[in-house]
Amino acid sequence: MKFIKMHGTGNDYIYMDCFKEKVEHPEVLAVKLSNRHKGIGSDGLVLIQPSDFCDFKMRMFNADGSEAQMCGNASRCVGKYVYDSGLTTKTSLTLETKAGIKRLQLYTQGGKVMSVKVDMGEPEVQSVNHRVNFSPEEFAITCISMGNPHAVLFMSSIDDLLLSDIGKRIEYHPMFPERTNVEFIEILSPEEARMRVWERGSGETQACGTGACAALVAGVINGLLDRKAVIHLLGGDLEVEWSREDNRVYLTGDAVRVFEGEWVDEN
């Protein structure tokens, strides 16, 4: 089974071209492939599929096999793959996801996609600066849905956080029956912020596109960020804008092809 490894801002996934490959039990395959010692190694598995009403369809599975609604970084890589591989000549695409239809604007150079702008849709503000006891600490969180759930926390410094502890406790807190992604944000200026992310089902990752969008929205609501800002993540930078005109959030970042190969399951 042939695959391609790609990353958006360090958020790495294994991509399967389902125009060519038949993938059965993707929730099981995601766990095998994502293992960084016994598999290929990734934050999860992404299936690129035909769609009945969009240019393409994306399904994605976290490293633990759970299916996610949406990933901004993965959607950019899907855009790069379908264009660079000749599946389309269009630079403006629609993408079917479990979080609805996303629109991609591809920016090319030398016949290859270098970056992608994604219309991430309108955010849903669920709670603002709500204090919750996560035992033993209490944190103020702002909850935003970008088609998937996010809990955003603002802190003076994010360098020394033990995300494997605090991130997991928040992800599995009873107030999130379907679990949640968690963003830890350090404000640098109204136009810049640093972010570390604990992704539901994958743990700490290099970046999270929907998380960066949720962070900007939460920052604007709490009076900490402008409506357009750069979010610095472990894997690089993402540009995020929450438009006044249409209330939609736009995410721009890179899409990088790493390598391709063939998976042979001997187990």
Q: Which residues are catalytic?
A: 71, 208
Instruction: Kindly provide the b/e burial profile for residues 171-194, where b requires at least 16 CB atoms within 10 angstroms of the residue's own CB.
Output: bebeebeeebbbbbbbbeeeeebb
- Rounded Cα distance, 36 and 73, in Å: 20
- Rounded Cα distance, 34 and 262, in Å: 14
Taking every pair of Cα atoms in the chain, the longest distance, rounded to a whole number of angstroms, is 54
- Which sign, positive or negative, has the C-alpha torsion 157, 161, 167, 170? negative
Task: Please enumerate in sequence order all residues whose Cβ is within 8 A of that of 62, keeping only pairs 6 or more positions apart, or say none.
Answer: 30, 34, 43, 44, 68, 199, 200, 201, 202
- Rounded Cα distance, 200 and 170, in Å: 10
Q: How far apart are the first and last CA of the chain?
A: 14
Cα 192 to the chain's mean position, in Å?
A: 19
- Rounded Cα distance, 134 and 64, in Å: 23
